[in-house]
């Protein structure tokens, strides 16, 4: 059975959290909840307001974005991928729908907790900004 230690290992591999110190990541895992989706269960719905992101711990999910939305999202995603990470940064409707393809176990990360942890962690803030910059570049070009 997977425990918090394993979750921390997976979180560490996610770009958005990569620069956070282990102590903070442990707290992030502690304040998050683990959820289980059966195949076919919706994980995110397009247009829905949400303040949580999901980090897939195991299993595969299918992303279906409406036409015209950036190419970064569509197709299959799996372990260590993040669903709706922008919800951790700002209040926006979901831009795509995600459905569990196989059994999916994910960690539900809450914006409020994430923000509190990032607030006193300059490394992580810098990393987030750099990441956002790269993403902006990718979408604009």
Partner 1 sequence: MEPILSRYIWTNTKRQQLWILLVVGASMIPYYMAFNLPKLIVNGPIQGEGFETPDATQTFGNITLDLPWLGQVELFQGIPLERLPMLLALSMAFLALVIVNGLFKFYINTYKGRLGERLLRRIRFALVDRILRFPPARLKALKPGEISSMVKDEVEPLGGFTADAFVQPALLGGQALTALLFIFIQHFWLGMLTFGVAMVQVLVIPKMRQRLIVLGRERQLTARQLAGRVSDIVTGIDTIRAHDTTNFERADIAHRLSRIFRIRYDIYQWKFLVKFLNNFLAQLTPFLFYSFGGYLTIKGTLDVGQLVAVINAYKELPGPLKELIDWDLTRQDVQVKYEQVVEQFESDVLIDADLQSPTPDPDAAFGHPLSVRNVSLVDDSGSLVLDQVSLKIETGERVAFLGPSGSGGGALAEALGRLVWPTSGNILAGEHDLLHLPESLVGRKISYASGEGHLFDGTLEDNLLYGLKNEPRVPRVYTGRARRLRDWEVMEAGLSGNPVFDLNDSWIDEAAIARHTGEADLLSSVMAVFDCVGLSDDVLDMALHTTLDEAQRQTLAERIVALRAPLAAALREAGLGAMVSQFRPGCYNSGATVGENLLFGQLTGEEDSLRRIVRSRFFRELIFSDGIGEDLFAMGRAIAEITVDLFRDMPPDHVFFQRMTLMRPEEIPDYTALLHRLEGKSFATAADADRIALMRLAFYYNERWFRFGVLDEALMRRIVEVRGKIHAGMPDALKPLIEVYETGRYIRSATLLENLLFGKVDTFQSDAERKVRTVASEVLGRDPALCRDVQTIGLCYGIGPAGRRLQAVQRQKLNLARAMIRPSDYYILNQPLTGLDAAARRKIRVDVVDFLAGRPDRPGIVWVTADEADVDGFDRIVRFENGSVVSDHYSETFSRESARTEGVEASA
Q: Output 3 or 141, the one with its CB closest to partner 1.
A: 3
The residue written with tokens 């962690």 in the block is 121
- Max CA-CA distance within the chain? 43
DSSP 98-110: EEESS-EEEEEEE
Which residues are at the interface with partner 1 (CB under 8 A)? 1-5, 7, 23, 26-27, 29-31, 33-38, 41, 43, 47-49, 93, 113, 116
Closest approach, Cβ 106 to partner 1, in A, equals 8
Count of Cβ atoms closer than 10 Å to residue 65 Cβ: 18
Q: Output 70 or 93, the one with its CB closest to partner 1.
A: 93
Q: Output 33 or 134, the one with its CB closest to partner 1.
A: 33
Closest approach, Cβ 59 to partner 1, in A, equals 12
Closest approach, Cβ 112 to partner 1, in A, equals 8
Give the whole-angstrom CA distance, residue 126 versus residue 83. Answer: 21
Tokens representing residue 71 in the block: 């190419």
């Amino acid at each position: 059975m997977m425990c918090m230690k394993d979750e921390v290992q997976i979180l560490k591999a996610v770009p958005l959290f990569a620069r956070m110190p282990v102590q903070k990541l442990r707290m992030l895992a502690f304040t998050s909840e683990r959820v289980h989706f059966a195949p076919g269960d919706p994980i995110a719905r397009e247009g829905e307001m949400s303040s949580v992101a999901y980090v897939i711990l195991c299993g595969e999910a299918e992303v279906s974005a409406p036409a015209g939305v950036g190419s970064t999202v569509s197709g299959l995603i799996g372990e260590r991928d993040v669903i709706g990470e922008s919800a951790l940064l700002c209040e926006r409707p979901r831009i795509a729908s995600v459905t569990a393809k196989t059994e999916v176990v994910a960690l539900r990360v809450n914006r409020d907790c994430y923000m509190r942890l990032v607030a006193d962690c300059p490394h992580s803030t810098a990393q987030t900004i750099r990441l956002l910059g790269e993403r902006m570049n990718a979408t604009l070009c």
